[in-house]
């Protein structure tokens, strides 16, 4: 692969915006900036902060900019949902045009791509990547490529009858209990049985949703990422136990349930990699 200049990744989450210059040959983050998302201010203010942080890292100019978003994104790179903030009628890529060519994708696909290239997924032909943080989403990865679906909507493990988004996401836990999932995790580790029960219940709902997906698409392994799944052993263990309970096929019940190697950097790295792949043809 021909070496290219550093690519700028912008990971826009419901709680934090992170930008970073990434060497897409190695997956190394050379420098980064972050700020609280404060999504209650609205989409325009969030985008303004994204561009401001990007410009702080844009001297010299990056080769391309990749933006990963905690929303649904269609095959043309348009944001199509407004769960955390509303960019549905916003030219997000165009906002970065004075920095470098830019593209947009859902954060879960970006994170899954990074795990496929540099992380846990690189050792497997197929895997289901499940992100559990402020929100819950997923993507199936086959031969290193996240599957987007016909409209870009193949990420919605949190929706549907199980409704894991409303019961098991960090946003749901904060809304219901008044504290963040990571605060609950710290309390559980300190012996708070009430916090432990909350996380076990939430993780169990996520596990049911994962089992439904495993029954449907039969991946080789499940890889979990996101701040809540990676930050709470209680939550992730409950998810794994519920998943195994609800998987139908005996041959799949022992499916590996693995944490993502890249941690919470996965979406940032994947955003940069997506831009390098789509705009520079470097993969």
Dump the DSSP string for 135-165.
SEEEEEEETTEE---SSS-TT-TTSSSS-HH
Provide CB contacts within 8 A for 271, sequence distance 6+: 9, 10, 11, 66, 67, 68, 105, 107, 110
**pLDDT of amino acid 2:** 43
Using the CB atoms, write b or e for 245-258: b if 16+ within 10 Å. ebbeeeebeebebb
Using the CB atoms, write b or e for 194-228: b if 16+ within 10 Å. ebbebbbebbbbbbbbbbbbbeeeebbbbbbbbbb
**pLDDT of amino acid 281:** 84
The answer to whether the beta carbons of residues 137 and 158 sit under 8 Å apart is yes
**pLDDT of amino acid 283:** 59
Cα gap 153→142, rounded to integer Å: 16
pTM: 0.95
Smallest CA-to-CA distance from 268 within 76, 81, 6, 59 is with 6
Cα gap 33→8, rounded to integer Å: 11
The answer to whether the beta carbons of residues 11 and 267 sit under 8 Å apart is yes
Cα gap 56→207, rounded to integer Å: 40
Say whether 23 sits in a helix, a strand or coil. strand
Cα gap 3→70, rounded to integer Å: 29
Cα gap 241→243, rounded to integer Å: 5
Smallest CA-to-CA distance from 31 within 69, 68, 62 is with 62
The answer to whether the beta carbons of residues 264 and 226 sit under 8 Å apart is yes
Provide CB contacts within 8 A for 50, sequence distance 6+: 10, 12, 17, 19, 67, 95
Say whether 124 sits in a helix, a strand or coil. coil
**pLDDT of amino acid 282:** 72
**pLDDT of amino acid 1:** 39
Smallest CA-to-CA distance from 267 within 234, 213, 236, 227 is with 227
- Measured at the CA of 181, the angle between CA 177 and CA 187, to 5 degrees, comes to 85
Domains of the chain: 7-106+264-280 (3.30.420.40), 120-260 (3.30.420.40)
Tokens (6 digits) for 120: 């846990």
Low-confidence ranges of the chain (pLDDT < 50): 1-3
Say whether 237 sits in a helix, a strand or coil. helix
């Amino acid at each position: 692969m021909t070496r290219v200049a550093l690519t700028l990744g912008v990971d826009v989450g419901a709680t934090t915006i992170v930008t970073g210059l990434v060497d897409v040959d190695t997956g190394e983050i050379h420098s980064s900036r972050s700020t609280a998302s404060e999504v209650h201010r609205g989409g325009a203010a969030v985008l303004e902060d994204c561009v401001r942080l990007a410009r702080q890292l844009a001297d010299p100019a990056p080769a391309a900019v990749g933006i990963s978003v905690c929303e649904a994104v269609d095959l043309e790179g348009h944001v199509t949902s407004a769960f955390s903030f509303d960019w549905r009628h916003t030219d997000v890529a165009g906002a970065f045009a004075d920095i470098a060519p830019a593209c947009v994708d859902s954060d879960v696909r970006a994170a899954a791509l990074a795990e496929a290239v540099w992380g846990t997924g690189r050792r497997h032909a197929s895997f289901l990547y499940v992100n559990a943080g402020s929100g819950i989403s997923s993507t199936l990865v086959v031969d290193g490529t996240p599957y987007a679906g016909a409209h870009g909507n193949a990420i919605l493990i949190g929706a549907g009858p199980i409704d894991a988004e409303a019961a098991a996401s960090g946003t749901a836990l904060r809304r219901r209990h008044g504290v963040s999932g990571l605060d609950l995790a710290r309390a559980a580790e300190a012996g708070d049985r009430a916090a432990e029960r909350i996380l076990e219940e939430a993780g169990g709902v996520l596990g049911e949703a994962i089992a439904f997906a495993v029954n449907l698409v039969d991946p080789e392994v499940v890889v979990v990422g996101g701040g809540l799944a990676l930050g709470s052993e209680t939550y992730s263990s409950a998810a794994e136990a519920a998943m195994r309970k609800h998987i139908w096929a005996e041959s799949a019940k022992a499916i590996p349930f693995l944490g993502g190697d890249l941690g919470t950097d996965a979406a940032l790295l994947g955003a940069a990699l997506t831009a390098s792949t789509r705009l520079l043809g470097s993969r």
